[in-house]
A and B are shown apart, each in its own frame.
Chain A
Amino acid sequence: KAGVTQTPRYLIKTRGQQVTLSCSPISGHRSVSWYQQTPGQGLQFLFEYFSETQRNKGNFPGRFSGRQFSNSRSEMNVSTLELGDSALYLCASSLSVAGRQETQYFGPGTRLLVL
């Protein structure tokens, strides 16, 4: 079974631009979560989508948004990019089955550099 895939793997943007990152979860997984990882702040939770609905949200500004499609694929968008948005953006998927302790499977990440 293929793992979580993320595209693109690397991206360079300039301040003020916007960016869209894509994540394809493991087949059959219905939950997709997004994380931002920086050297200073570590791994931080952005949001989680399930059945095309945002179910959980971290403490990030509204410039960070996402969506999930009917096939569970997810996109994350960052508008009006700032230098501090340079980070590794990670996507993780889970089965999301009630009554079970879940494991999140992470993708390789998208490295975003904002100049």
Chain B
Amino acid sequence: GQQVMQIPQYQHVQEGEDFTTYCNSSTTLSNIQWYKQRPGGHPVFLIQLVKSGEVKKQKRLTFQFGEAKKNSSLHITATQTTDVGTYFCAGHEGAQKLVFGQGTRLTINP
């Protein structure tokens, strides 16, 4: 079955530094979704990428979908303490099943 690998598993940064997490799929994805889970909370949908090579921005967050639609990245510029949490990518296997990566846990030193 489809596998979605995410690296790194953990990342600790100083506040103000940039952060990037990478997502790789064993198969071509129809789309990729990104979720954020705050400590003690539940995943919250951030964005969906559909097109090959697509780049989307949300304030300090930049999301990219690879040309081959098998990889994706999330980059945060100038991290803030509110960015703390675990970031998950997820790709669809078929029409309904969403396969999640292991997540990247981001901690920030203020």
Q: Are A and B co-members of a single complex?
A: no
Give B contacts to A, CB under 8 Å: none
Q: Which residues of A contact B (CB under 8 A)?
A: none
